[in-house]
């Protein structure tokens, strides 16, 4: 079966150490350097992703804050607009009410003026008619029946003139 040979063992051990020395001299440092570079690259990528994540979270919180501020400002603008609208509405209603009162007052004054003018004209016409009746009475001796006819004719004339207007 298996019998150990001392010469082969010695040469195997020597070959192993030579191979180990050659690997250490030429391959170990480049492999170790490559591994360290890879480890550094991975570490930097992790740190960069952490920084990016923190920046993204900060930006997200800023956007949320700005969104809330925007909503608050929008509500404020809406409320101010509503208040301004109410104020304008009240002003318009007050102005309209004032104008309508002024128009009613002017119309009442105009009616009073017209009424006074009509009364003055009526008085003047009654005075003219009275003078006319008196002159006719004086010119004609009136009988009681003629007197009634004259009064009725005068009243009819007054009604005719002022009944149209």
Tens of pLDDT, residue by residue over 92-139, are 999 999 999 999 999 999 999 998 898 888 878 877 777 777 776 666
| Gap between the Cα atoms of 83 and 63, Å rounded | 30
**This prediction's pTM:** 0.39
pLDDT band at 153 (very low <50, low <70, confident <90, very high): confident
φ, ψ at 95 (rounded to 5°): -65, -45
Q: What is the pLDDT, as a whole number, of residue 78?
A: 92
pLDDT band at 23 (very low <50, low <70, confident <90, very high): confident
Long-range pairs, 103-109, Cβ under 8 A, ≥24: none
| Gap between the Cα atoms of 116 and 63, Å rounded | 78
Number of other CB atoms surrounding residue 80 within 10 Å: 10
pLDDT band at 158 (very low <50, low <70, confident <90, very high): confident
Task: Check if the beta carbon of residue 133 is closer than 8 Å to that of residue 150.
Answer: yes
């Amino acid at each position: 079966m298996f019998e150990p040979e001392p010469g082969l063992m010695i040469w195997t051990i020597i070959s192993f150490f030579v191979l180990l020395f050659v690997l250490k001299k030429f391959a170990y440092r480049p492999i170790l350097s490559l591994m360290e570079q890879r480890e550094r690259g991975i570490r930097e990528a992790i740190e960069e992703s952490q920084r990016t994540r923190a920046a993204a979270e900060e930006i997200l919180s800023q956007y949320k804050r700005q969104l809330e501020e925007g909503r608050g400002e929008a509500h404020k603008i809406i409320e101010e607009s509503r208040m301004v609208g109410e104020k304008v509405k009240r002003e318009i209603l007050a102005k309209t009410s004032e104008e309508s009162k002024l128009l009613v007052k002017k119309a009442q004054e105009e009616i009073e003026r017209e009424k006074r003018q009509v009364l003055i004209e009526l008085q003047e016409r009654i005075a003219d008619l009275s003078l006319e009746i008196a002159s006719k009475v004086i010119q004609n001796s009136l009988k009681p029946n003629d007197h009634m006819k004259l009064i009725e004719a005068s009243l009819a004339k007054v009604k005719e003139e002022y009944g149209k207007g």
